[in-house]
Structure 1
């Protein structure tokens, strides 16, 4: 069995975000980057399956982006993946989910993978489209939003979280694509020995032009930071006084609006 797990490097959500000069993406100069949270669950599940099957399957981790995405690939290798594939693209943010999925599918098709793991969505774009589009392009069975995973006799049993917190179960014969989310597992922390081992693992570099065969079907025209809001007022004192203060403020605001 050959397993592919797709990861994306995203800005740390604690970063300060602002639009770049083009107004179509973030200014990256002062941003810190990390592996997308949902992709960590995908990596962990792929490695758990490898361990379940006696380390026989080969697990490849793929990421699209500039040189910095090698850090995300190395983390996945330290978690237990066998080798990496870096699709070299200096500006992946300019590609829509259809193009990203087509790049992944083109690579997966040539390598003959049996099972593909992805995160449910990325934390920066949040389209939740790439995994299902990969499945469509490859003609694979697909289950999304996994919170439970089991594998036996060539069949994936996927427990999915549906609307309203309802759990659904799907059974998929390989080849298949599954997308992973919070609750599926607890990603392991790479140990120092495994981090050292990861440095010796192969990371194949592939120019994105070798795999990109599709034109974009959607483009970001522009996005804007949230509008600044006025500061709040903290009222302190006895309840009676607070009521009077609040009434006065509301009366004043109502008069201004008129």
Structure 2
């Protein structure tokens, strides 16, 4: 394990990226646990306020992200400095993206249906960073044996082929399949060969004069959403918490309550 870690992570200079990813995921998990405890009125935690103004955790997140990002740029590629700044950046990014929906809507939608966007963005970001770690690990490794070159060449070819299929799946309106298809073999192929979703670029371009194809695509999309919407929502609720059934009334215009103020 130690040899693999050195050859694939340390030697190519990817340790800061691994540390940033670990800090990012850990920060998101810890933050969600704390906000759910605040929402339930349990534990010693509470909202942070200054002069009556609730300070969302996106604020220290922005500060940490800026500090860690500029610090990483100023530091060398290797060494303790780069690793430390990577951890700071990962913590800041986790705090910021945990409240991505608030930034998107400029409103406190943390525990609403719109707040699910934060969970989706965090999952997508973690998957993309994981792809950077796994998919491009051959670069920067020195003195590889013939078997290592062959294995890594196979990985690169597989990623490239999956990426092409992912582009086709993306044009068919299947964003999640396109994303994970780059990482998981055959997932993008399934999305690429199946019917496009209504309203996608592929449907507008190739189904324009095919009414039967448009009808089949609409029916399949309806059945798919009906079948998988509930499990998908259950997973999102398990990760980020179940949203409120009705949006809470905001006490002040322009300033929403904190995630735990309900």
TM (norm. structure 2) is 0.21
Which structure carries more helix by proportion? 2
Q: Give the number of the structure whose residues are more often strand, by fraction.
A: 1
Answer with 1 or 2: which has the greater Rg: 1
What TM-score do you get using the length of structure 1 for normalisation?
A: 0.21
